Structure 1
Amino acid sequence: MRATVDLSDTAMGRTWVWREYDEEGLRFTLLLAQHELRDLAVRLAALRAADGPPVTQAERILGQYHRAYRDLTGALAGVGDRDLDRAPAKDQWPVRAVIEHMLGAEYGFLGVVQYARASDRPRDDDEAGERYPSWRTEYGYRAPETVAGGIADIRNALFEIHRRVLRELADVGDDELERPALFWDGAKPVRFRMHRFEAHLVQHAIQVDKTLVAIGCGPTEAHRLIRVLYRDLADVEVLGSSAFGESERRAVASALSERAKEISSLP
Structure 2
Amino acid sequence: MSHQFVTALLLLAQVSAERCEAPWSWRERQGEELRGRDALLLSHEAELSAEVQLRGQAQRLITEGQRAFGELRGLLAGVPDQLLDAQPGGEEWTLRQTLAHLLLVERRYRAQTVYALERGDDQPLYQKLELQLSEPEQQGGVLAWIERLVAERRETAAATTGAETLLHRPTVWVGFEVDVRFRLARFAGHLAEHTIQLEKTLAAVGWQPSEAQRLVRRISAARAGHELWSKPEVPAALDALHLRRAAELTGAS
TM-score between both structures, scaled by the size of structure 1: 0.81
Q: 1:197 to 1:143 in 2, by over 3 A?
A: farther
Conserved? CA contact 2:67–2:221, under 8 Å:
yes
In the other structure, the counterpart of 1:50 is none
Asked if 1:158 is matched to 2:136, the reply is: no
CA–CA distance in 1 between the matches of 2:244 and 2:199?
A: 30
Name the one with the larger strand percent.
2
Structure 2 distance, partners of 1:152, 1:216, is 21
Contact conserved, 1:78 with 1:223, CA < 8 A, in 2? yes
SS in structure 1 of the partner of residue 140 of structure 2: coil
Query: What is the Cα deviation at residue 143 of structure 1?
Result: 4.0
Match of 1:117 in 2: 117
Match of 2:182 in 1: 192
Alignment partner of 1:181 out of 171, 189, 195: 171
Rg (Cα) greater in structure: 1
Please say if 1:21 is aligned against 2:38.
Answer: no
1:9 aligns with 2:12: no
Instruction: Judge conservation of contact 1:103–1:143 (CA < 8 Å) in 2.
Output: no
Alpha-carbon distance in 2 for matches of 1:98, 1:150 = 14
Distance 2:81 2:108 in 1: 27
- Partner SS state of residue 93, structure 1: coil
**2:4 aligned partner:** none
Equivalent residue number for residue 58 of structure 1: 58
The 1:81–1:143 alpha-carbon spacing in structure 2 relative to 1, beyond 3 Å, is same
Shift of 1:154: 1.6
**3-state SS of the aligned residue for 2:172?**
strand
Structure 2 CA distance for partners of 1:249 and 1:168, relative to 1, 3 Å: closer
Deviations 1:3-60, CA, capped at 9 Å, x for gaps: 221223233112212246332421111011112222232xx54xxxxxxxx7121111
Tell me the TM-score normalized by structure 2. 0.85
Q: Which residue of 1 aligns with 2:133?
A: 144
> 1:170 matched to which residue of 2?
161
Structure 1 vs Structure 2 CA RMSD? 2.2
CA displacement, residues 163-211 of structure 1 (integer Å, 9 cap, x when unaligned)? 11011001112x3111111243232111001100000100110111111
The reply to whether residue 222 of structure 1 matches residue 212 of structure 2 is yes
Establish whether residue 76 from structure 1 lines up as the match of residue 76 from structure 2.
yes
Partner of 2:43: 33
| Aligned twin of 2:198 | 208
| 1:92 Cα deviation after fit | 0.9
Q: CA deviation at 1:145?
A: 5.7
- Residue aligning to 1:255: 241
User: Which residue identity lines up with residue 200 of structure 1 in the other structure?
Assistant: H
> 1:94 maps to which residue?
94
Q: In 2 relative to 1, CA 123–105 (structure 1 residues): closer, same or farther, beyond 3 Å?
A: same
Q: Are the aligned partners of 2:67 and 2:225 in contact in 1 as well (CA < 8 Å)?
A: yes
- Identity rate of aligned residues, in percent? 28
Q: How many residues align?
A: 240
